[in-house]
Amino acid sequence: GVDISRVKSRTNTEGDRDFSQPELNKALSEDQRVVVDRINKAIGRWKEVASDRPPIVFCPSVEYSHWAADLWRQAGYTAAAIDAKTEDSVRDNHIKEIHLGNVQVTCNYGIYTHGTDVDKWSCIVLLRPTESQGLLSQMLGRVTRPLNHVGHALNNYDDPSERRVL
């Protein structure tokens, strides 16, 4: 329900094109009712198809990540918003809490897009539109990278349906 067709694109220093962050944020956050509806639809869809899988939620802004975490909490889940303003010690503790099973949903803006491997995340909720193939690949990589214990286990199964159980 959000028209982002007028959001301009920018080229970063690596030559990768993506939406202008200020314009994208404005377009996606202009109407609070639309924000709440959009996030609640994502929560509902996640509950339908992957409620047993802890998600990492990619958001288009700091504010959006906090709104998303609040709405996930209102839906009855433990959720945290992580962004560049979050202190390193809090981020480190957050990862520990995920591994302990104390945090079910991680909503983030620009922090866990690359270089973070958390094997508890097994689902992506993508609330952040992007035109960047590189960024999309990085976000998808948070849950699609084979882990050592999974990679070795795959060799024990001949049928793809058996591998999906992992």
Task: Flag whether pLDDT at 100 surpasses 80.
Answer: yes
Task: Flag whether pLDDT at 56 surpasses 90.
Answer: yes
How far apart (Å, rounded) are the C-alpha atoms in residues 59 and 17? 18
The pair of three-digit structure tokens given for residue 55, joined into one six-digit string: 């998600």
* Pairing relationship of beta strands 79-82 and 17-19 according to DSSP bridges: unpaired
pTM to 2 decimal places: 0.82
How far apart (Å, rounded) are the C-alpha atoms in residues 125 and 130? 13
122 vs 79, residue with greater confidence: 79
What tens digit of pLDDT does each residue of 135-152 get? 888 888 888 766 555 554
Label residue 155 by pLDDT band (50, 70, 90): low
What is 37-103 written as a DSSP string? HHHHHHHHHHHHHHTTS-EEEE-SSHHHHHHHHHHHHHTT--EEEE-TTS-HHHHHHHHHHHHHT--
Average pLDDT along the chain:
85
Contacts of 142 (CB under 8 A, 6+ apart): 56, 112, 113, 116, 117, 118, 121, 124
